[in-house]
Amino acid sequence: MAHDGSGAPFRSSIPTLLNILGISFLLFLSRSAMSPLLLAVEEQFSLTHARISRAFAMYTVGYGITVFLSGFVSRRITHRRLMPLAAAVAACGMVIVSMAPSVLVLEAGLFVFGVGFGLQAPTAISMITAVVRRSEWQRALSLHEVSPHLGMIIAPLGVVALRSVVEWRGVFVLLALLLSVQAILFALRVRAGNENGEAPSFEALAALVRKPAFWLLILFFALALASTDGVYLLIPTYLVIEAGLDQATANTIFGVSRILPIAALFASAFVFDRLGPRRTIAFSVAGAGVSVLVMGLTTGVVRLAMVFLQPSLGALYFPAGFAALSGLSPGKSRNVGISMVLPLAVIFGVGVVPTLVGQMGDTVSFGAGFVILGTTMTLLGPTALLVNFDGP
């Protein structure tokens, strides 16, 4: 398919989209399983909250570096070949994690997992926007964004079920097996995506950095990821330590809370059509910020309500954010914008933020960390109204 957005209708592209979603779902399931297993791994290696948060953040280092360099890989390997390769690399990372005798080996495995995830992320978005015609990008990207939330639902519930049968290492072995099987199925089934990406060039980068929207999207992706993935890593521990719930109850509540974001994603195309990119981005970032802020300030039923509301508001951002980001670059260089924005956003949102909030959990409280993050998002979200997110 051409890269100019003249791809196929959404409906006829569904088989390809579902195979992309399959790999994306298993990657997010694997990453999300780290959250409910955090306390078990922490106890295994006798670590503090801050130290285990830093260890799990190693995957963001591998992810960020690889996303930045992914254009050099996709220039030589087509998107169709790169997707199953990414899943295979991530599976190797899960195997290393499952066998880790020390924290250093655990971090190495998480880094390798991040490398696989980093190969997949820009490839998936580039492949979707190449296969599906531009007028239906929002629908296709909304479908793809179901995968992280589906992973966030199943991970805590699955861990509760599996932990009665196997220890935490067995969970990661199972995830490695599932990733390997999906990589084989993708390679056998998918025939679309025979395009190559483009390595970052001075011309492509110069065109991006001149646009105010590019810099704001880095900020918004970082904040959105901090409020969803970054907060996600810590909420089960937060509910156990500061809300007084047992681990099984906390993980069950946490898993059920991730059902609402899927409903929000199905509504996101309607919201986007009515509000447009600027207001959708402003509403989702500021709204998620308010919910994180309230979660950190309150107790009881209100706090649990925010656990449900916060990911639903955050979910509205990503289809709009990816559509705006894809529209900043023309044709074949579309992956360049993604490979520039995501590394910085992920390192901050999924690496720095949970590490700092984990440190706050050791020294003050997790709630205080949530208040700082929520206040920042609430104040910065409305700045999206000041920038034009139209395409090139």
What is the average pLDDT across 178-202? 84
Share of the chain above pLDDT 70, in %: 93
Q: Which residues contact 249 (CB under 8 A, 6 or more apart)?
A: none
What is the average pLDDT across 270-295? 87
> What is the structure's pLDDT at 375?
95
CATH number at residue 312: 1.20.1250.20
Residue 34 lies in a domain: yes
Residue 99 lies in a domain: yes
Closest CA to 319 of 155, 78, 147, 133: 147
Residue 365 lies in a domain: yes
Q: Are 37 and 97 in contact (CB under 8 A)?
A: no
> What is the structure's pLDDT at 283?
93
pLDDT-derived band at 83 (thresholds 50, 70, 90) equals very high
Residue 143 lies in a domain: yes
Number of domains in the chain: 1
pLDDT-derived band at 5 (thresholds 50, 70, 90) equals very low
pLDDT at 163 over 60: yes
Six-digit token pair at 391? 């395409």
Q: Are 65 and 374 in contact (CB under 8 A)?
A: no
- In the chain, the amino acid numbered 324 is A
Q: Provide the H-helix boundaries in the chain.
A: 14-33, 38-45, 49-56, 58-74, 79-99, 103-131, 137-144, 146-162, 168-189, 202-209, 212-225, 231-241, 247-257, 260-297, 300-315, 317-326, 334-346, 353-363, 366-380
pLDDT-derived band at 6 (thresholds 50, 70, 90) equals low
> What is the structure's pLDDT at 95?
96
How does pLDDT run across 301-330, given as a tens digit for each residue? 898 889 888 888 888 888 888 878 877 765
Lowest-pLDDT range of 98-112, 223-237, 292-306: 223-237
| DSSP character string of 79-142 | HHHHHHHHHHHHHHHHHHHHH-SSHHHHHHHHHHHHHHHHHHHHHHHHHHHHHB-GGGHHHHHH
Six-digit token pair at 250? 């906390």
What is the average pLDDT across 28-43? 84
> What is the structure's pLDDT at 1?
38
How does pLDDT run across 38-69, given as a tens digit for each residue? 778 888 888 776 777 777 778 888 988 888 88
Lowest-pLDDT range of 58-62, 168-172, 180-184, 194-198: 194-198
Residue 391 lies in a domain: no
CA distance 285 to 216: 12
Mean of the per-residue pLDDT values of the chain: 84
What is the average pLDDT across 341-351? 82
Residue 137 lies in a domain: yes
How does pLDDT run across 218-263, given as a tens digit for each residue? 999 999 888 877 776 678 778 888 888 887 788 778 777 777 888 7
Residue 82 lies in a domain: yes
Residue 1 lies in a domain: no
Q: Which residues contact 143 (CB under 8 A, 6 or more apart)?
A: 17, 21, 265
pLDDT at 123 over 80: yes
State the residue range of the domain holding 353: 11-386
Beta-bridge partner residues of 8:
132
Give the predicted TM-score (pTM) of the model. Answer: 0.72
pLDDT at 336 over 80: no
Q: Are 9 and 134 in contact (CB under 8 A)?
A: no
